[in-house]
């Protein structure tokens, strides 16, 4: 299967029904993407496919054929990552890669409501979300474009 | 993950025609789109089928268009596409309201209306909308197409009248007169499966449909007749509560669901005509 992974053309041989999550972690050795619930409820395994946030535990590998896949390793999200550290948006850390990938779809200066909607599919059991919203707001403040220039979905 | 993937087979047609040929000649195959339901079963090891048909690359099934005065939605239209579509916002705002409360953004980016209909969960969020809107399901097999009234599409719990060689290709929604209203009651706003879900049209011919209150989506004809005859909201609520069949399950109780269904109808009819939906 040929697709673009974090900006590089790759050709990965794996069963078409394997979960994208497993192919990324086991075949591509990109373990930044985490498995939480394995049923699309928690968002820990969020990656971008053609710029759209998806839960990679529910994506058959065949469906990324020819598409553009972006994981936390290639997210180019330094502003978000730095802000998550500065504002303690990460505690245990298992939800953090998914949170950052989901937050990438937000435009500059998102409202509270926009942040809540963009992250509605991402569960965090540590922070109570407040620190996460503060981190995202700080990273996206004033004319700072999203690193991928991804169009807002909310 | 609890399923052995190596035993599974995925057919990958390049066109709708090829998909239909595969369904006819190489079946049984289970159509697979955004996989947001199927892969949950895969992860749990409860997937009953082993051979699948990948519809995801079939772009012609993603169209949203008017055909005369009928709104036609391709089977692969995702919840995100519904939310972004000006046509759907104008013609069927209650479907946009429903799409916005399905899962989270990640599920909305992948889940499709064809999948929601085919999966046939009694809690499917868009199903009361299609029932209340008198939608028609367009299904196609190799060489044949038929249109099935949405309210006739389910033959029982998670059972449909779809034949093994047939594919849902579109949903058609005729023009609707009146104010549309949608409300989902769940444990939380996002990522929740409904306890009760309702879609209603308040106008000269009132329409009311509910999910999670029976084995299949319920079109509340008796409540509609009570409303149309001007018998008052309490008569309509009594009729509604008599024609639904909720159960006790992990998400709620029958008693709670019956009470909430009545309250939702009251809430919908108490709302001033034309007022914005506070829950949207």
Interchain CB contact of B81 with A (< 8 Å): no
Query: How many degrees, rounded to 5, is the angle at CA B251 between CA B221 and CA A57?
Result: 110
What's the pLDDT at B95? Answer: 98
A86-134 residue pLDDT tens: 999 999 999 999 999 999 989 999 999 999 999 999 999 999 999 999 9
Contact A153 B57 (CB under 8 A): no
DSSP at A66: T
Contact B80 A153 (CB under 8 A): yes
- Residues of chain B found within 8 Å of residue A100, distances taken between Cβ atoms: none
How far, in whole angstroms, is CA A108 from its chain's centroid?
17
Residue A151 has pLDDT above 70, yes or no: no
Question: Once rounded to an integer, what is the mean pLDDT over residues A62-91?
Answer: 95
pLDDT confidence of A2, banded at 50, 70, 90? very high
Q: Among partner residues A53, A63, A122, which is closest to B56 by beta-carbon distance?
A: A63
What's the pLDDT at B278? Answer: 53
Contact B191 A120 (CB under 8 A): yes
Rounded to whole angstroms, how far apart are CA atoms A131 and A27?
Answer: 34
Rounded to whole angstroms, how far apart are CA atoms A7 and A14?
Answer: 20
Sign of CA dihedral A47, A50, A53, A55: negative
Complex ipTM value: 0.91
Could you tell me the two tokens for A121? 């599919």
Question: Once rounded to an integer, what is the mean pLDDT over residues A17-31?
Answer: 98
**What does DSSP say about strands B154-156 and B159-160: parallel, antiparallel, or unpaired?**
antiparallel
Interface of A with B (CB under 8 A): 15-19, 22, 38-41, 43, 46, 52-55, 57-60, 62-63, 65, 102, 105, 117-123, 153-154
Contact A57 B80 (CB under 8 A): no
pLDDT confidence of A154, banded at 50, 70, 90? very low
Rounded to whole angstroms, how far apart are CA atoms A105 and A115?
Answer: 10
Rounded to whole angstroms, how far apart are CA atoms B260 and B98?
Answer: 18
What's the pLDDT at A152? Answer: 42
Contact A60 B40 (CB under 8 A): no
Kindly list the distances between the CA atom of residue A18 and the CA atoms of A24, B2, B36, B62, in Å, as whole numbers in the listed order: 10, 12, 14, 25
Interchain CB contact of B1 with A (< 8 Å): yes
**What does DSSP say about strands A8-11 and B154-156: parallel, antiparallel, or unpaired?**
unpaired
Residue A29 has pLDDT above 60, yes or no: yes
How far is the alpha carbon of A18 from chain B, nearest alpha carbon, in Å? 6
- Residues of chain B found within 8 Å of residue A16, distances taken between Cβ atoms: 10, 12, 54
What's the pLDDT at B274? Answer: 52
Contact A17 B8 (CB under 8 A): yes
| Residue ranges of chain B whose pLDDT lies below 70 | 272-280
Closest to B266 (Cα-Cα) out of B237, B243, B241: B237
């Amino acid at each position: 299967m040929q697709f673009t992974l974090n900006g590089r053309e790759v050709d990965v041989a794996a069963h078409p029904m394997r979960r994208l999550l497993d192919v990324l972690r086991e075949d591509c050795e990109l373990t930044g993407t985490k498995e939480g619930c394995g049923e699309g409820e928690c968002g820990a395994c969020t990656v971008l496919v053609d710029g759209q946030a998806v839960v990679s535990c529910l994506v058959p590998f065949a469906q990324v054929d020819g598409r553009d896949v972006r994981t936390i390793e290639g997210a180019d999200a330094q502003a978000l990552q730095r802000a998550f550290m500065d504002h303690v948006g990460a505690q245990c850390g298992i939800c953090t890669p998914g949170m950052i990938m989901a937050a990438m779809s937000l435009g500059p200066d998102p409202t509270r409501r926009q942040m809540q909607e963009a992250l509605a599919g991402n569960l965090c059991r540590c922070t109570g979300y407040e620190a996460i919203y503060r981190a995202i707001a700080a990273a996206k403040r004033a004319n700072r474009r999203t690193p991928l220039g991804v169009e807002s979905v909310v | 993950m609890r399923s052995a993937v190596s035993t599974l087979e995925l057919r990958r047609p390049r066109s709708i025609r090829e998909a239909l040929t595969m369904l006819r000649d190489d079946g049984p195959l289970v159509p697979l789109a955004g996989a947001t339901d199927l892969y949950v079963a895969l992860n749990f090891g409860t997937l009953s089928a082993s051979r699948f048909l990948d519809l995801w690359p079939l772009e012609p099934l993603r169209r949203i268009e008017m055909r005369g005065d009928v709104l036609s939605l391709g089977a692969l239209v995702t919840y995100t596409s519904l939310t972004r579509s000006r046509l759907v916002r104008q013609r069927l705002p209650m479907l946009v309201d429903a799409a916005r409360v399905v899962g989270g953004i990640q599920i909305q980016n992948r889940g499709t209306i064809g999948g929601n209909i085919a999966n046939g969960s009694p809690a499917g969020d868009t199903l009361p909308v299609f029932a209340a809107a008198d939608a028609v399901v367009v299904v196609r097999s190799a060489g044949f197409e038929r249109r099935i009234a949405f309210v006739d599409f389910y033959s029982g719990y998670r059972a449909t009248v779809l034949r093994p060689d047939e594919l849902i290709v579109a949903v058609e929604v005729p023009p609707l007169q009146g104010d549309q209203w949608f409300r989902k009651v769940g444990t939380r706003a996002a990522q929740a499966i409904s306890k009760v879900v309702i879609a209603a049209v308040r106008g000269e011919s009132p329409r009311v449909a509910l999910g999670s209150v029976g084995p299949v989506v319920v079109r509340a004809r008796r409540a509609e007749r009570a409303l149309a005859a001007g018998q008052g909201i309490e008569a309509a609520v009594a009729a509604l509560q008599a024609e639904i069949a909720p159960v006790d399950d992990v998400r709620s109780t029958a008693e709670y669901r019956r009470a909430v269904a009545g309250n939702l109808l009251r809430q919908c009819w108490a709302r001033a005509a034309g007022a914005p939906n506070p829950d949207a």
